[in-house]
Amino acid sequence: MENIESKPELMSEPIVYVIDDDKDMRDALLDLFMVTNRRASAYSSGPEFLSTADTTAPGCVVVDLRMPGVTGLDVQSQLISLGSQMPVIFLTAHADVPASVRAMKAGATDFLTKPFVTQDLLDAVDYAILVDGERRKSETECNQIRMLADTLTPREQEVMFGVVSGLMNKQVAYQLGISEMTVKLHRMSVMRKMQSRSLADLVRKAEKLQRN
């Protein structure tokens, strides 16, 4: 494994994991990322990467499609089986439509043919890191919303989902067999516990809960 040393304060920065059995390519990619101020580590094989790298870290993977033994597609598949959603960029010396289709369907963010334009790779890496960052931000928000929702009583949850579905207080009351005043009290409690100052914000949070 080859690394670009980073200053301690940069260790939380996204990292580009390079996987290629060609040492010259690995060195060239490391040099490219170093001179463009991107943190990176390189691995000579899929197993080396999978056994030593932190696949939960922010960043992306740049991997050669065709490697002996464990291929780039195998690496992508094993990342998925590990529960990692780290974006993957494939590099290949041979145009391979079936492989590219399979890679993209499995979530690859790009597929570049060697020799590639340097800026195309840098753009692909920046996009992949952006996608990863947005996903992590969304997951963090979803976890926070879920923690708030866990503080609701079962009845409060029923009232919340009735309200966010567009029902009026009296309709929720009829549906649940309780008084309208009780619905209003539960609704006030829901707004407070969900830290929502508006119905629109409560609807947005409820939709995130239902989607995840």
pLDDT digit string (tens) for 84-117? 999 999 998 876 677 777 777 877 889 898 888 9
Per-residue pLDDT at 9 exceeds 50: no
**If pLDDT is split at 50, 70 and 90, which confidence band does 6 have?**
very low
Q: Is the pLDDT confidence value at 202 over 90?
A: yes
The answer to whether 2 touches 27, Cβ cutoff 8 Å, is: yes
**Which is nearest to 1 in space by CA: 46, 51, 44?**
44
Q: Where in the chain is the domain with CATH 3.40.50.2300?
A: 2-137
Partners of 19 in the β-ladder: 43, 63
Hey, which residues does 90 pair with through a beta bridge?
63, 111
Instruction: Kindly state the percentage of the chain with pLDDT values over 90.
Output: 73
pLDDT the model gives residue 206: 93
Query: Token pair of 60, please?
Result: 């992306």
Query: In terms of Cα–Cα distance, which of 101, 94, 97, 87 is closest to 115?
Result: 94
The pLDDT assigned to 10 comes to: 46
Q: Please name the fold of domain 151-211.
A: Arc Repressor Mutant, subunit A (1.10.10)
pTM metric for this prediction: 0.75
Would you state the pLDDT for residue 2?
60
Euclidean distance between CA atoms 47 and 19, whole angstroms = 10
- Sequence ranges of the chain with CATH classification 1.10.10.10: 151-211
Q: What is the pLDDT of residues 35-81, one digit of tens each?
A: 999 999 999 999 999 999 999 899 999 999 889 999 999 999 999 99
Instruction: Mention every residue, 6+ apart, whose C-beta is less than 8 A from residue 190.
Output: 152, 156, 159, 160, 163, 196, 202
CATH architecture label of 2-137: 3-Layer(aba) Sandwich (3.40)
Q: Which residue has the higher pLDDT, 97 or 135?
A: 135
